[in-house]
Structure 1
């Protein structure tokens, strides 16, 4: 687990919250994150606003390098429609408690036999939920990309409902986390 935040106290607090469940490494900024990233990393908690390299740019570089580990944005930056195009796995708004961190990571860190479509669904649901919680319906209703992703999430949820006996339970657990409104699909 790689915890990335330019505020040392914040990074160390998150690492401390995770230490019983995950082996953690800390990067105090984007540059260190890029140096420490590798195939050994199970997941990344990534701050967006950092002075050396912005978290959005670090995320792009991770993906350009071919890293497919889950990236959970943990940030105080209010999300805007630009997050629809970002390739993160989840988005949590600071402050984040220990239970939310652990539950979020448990949902995204690879588990044997998990359906990759479920990961894709959670990525979509995270973006949509955060935006619905932070933006007004009038700001979202005319956005073509938001509406396209919403339709895609509905289609994917219908497919998963048919193939997973516990889909509703899994989604309910996901929605119980403090990340957004979790409006129903």
Structure 2
């Protein structure tokens, strides 16, 4: 596995209507991340609704809710994670309209599954870190400029604090290394 020890904290979901295929991909990922399987689009959405998922490996051609339908639903729900289509459907120009993060054509070997998960984990980690730094910078500005009483009575500030805490928790889980988080705290910020 390309040197990323934080994959053990990653949560992946493999979605394929062919149970053997989903189980095979899940088996390839066991030991490097937490992995669940879903054998339908409906089941995938239920899992995502009820537990945190970072990366979805999604088959495109499924009965009921297709992978394209699941993808559309995840976008509507503001899914915060990475989506990799893993499918036997040969891509055409239709993929230009699909909001996935990567596309693998079956059959996919073990090394490619592991490599794409590692790559998507790194991207998600840095996206989360960037969003955390942005939220934390806003919080630092407000804490430097406004009194505790002013801040405590503002609903948007409370939402910002909550969001920053969730992003920090996720960044720590995904990165597995606090060094980048500490870099934010080392910047001198003086207000007033």
1:71 correspondence with 2:66: no
Higher relative contact order (CA 8 A, sep 6+): 2
What's the Cα RMSD here?
Answer: 1.8
Structure number with greater Rg is 2
Q: Identify if the C-alpha distance between structure 1 residues 33 and 114 changes in structure 2 by more than 3 Å, giving closer, same or farther.
A: same
Structure 1 runs not aligned, ≥5 long: 117-185
TM-score (normalised: structure 2): 0.57
Of 40, 59, 67, 2:52 maps to: 40
Match of 1:97 in 2: 109
Q: Identify if the C-alpha distance between structure 1 residues 111 and 73 changes in structure 2 by more than 3 Å, giving closer, same or farther.
A: closer
Structure 2 runs not aligned, ≥5 long: 1-11, 129-192
Of 21, 31, 50, 2:32 maps to: 21
TM-score (normalised: structure 1): 0.59
Using the alignment, how far apart are the partners of 1:55 and 1:108 within structure 2?
Answer: 18
Match of 1:129 in 2: none
1:114 correspondence with 2:161: no
Using the alignment, how far apart are the partners of 1:12 and 1:69 within structure 2?
Answer: 21
Task: List per-residue Cα deviations over 1:104-128 (Å, max 9, x = no partner).
Answer: 1111114687369xxxxxxxxxxxx
Match of 1:6 in 2: 17
Using the alignment, how far apart are the partners of 2:125 and 2:44 within structure 1?
Answer: 29
Of 46, 49, 56, 2:61 maps to: 49
Using the alignment, how far apart are the partners of 2:108 and 2:90 within structure 1?
Answer: 14
Does the Cα contact within 8 Å between 2:83 and 2:100 map onto a contact in 1?
yes
Count of aligned pairs between the two proteins: 116
Q: Which has the higher helix share?
A: 2
State the secondary structure of the residue aligned to 2:84: strand
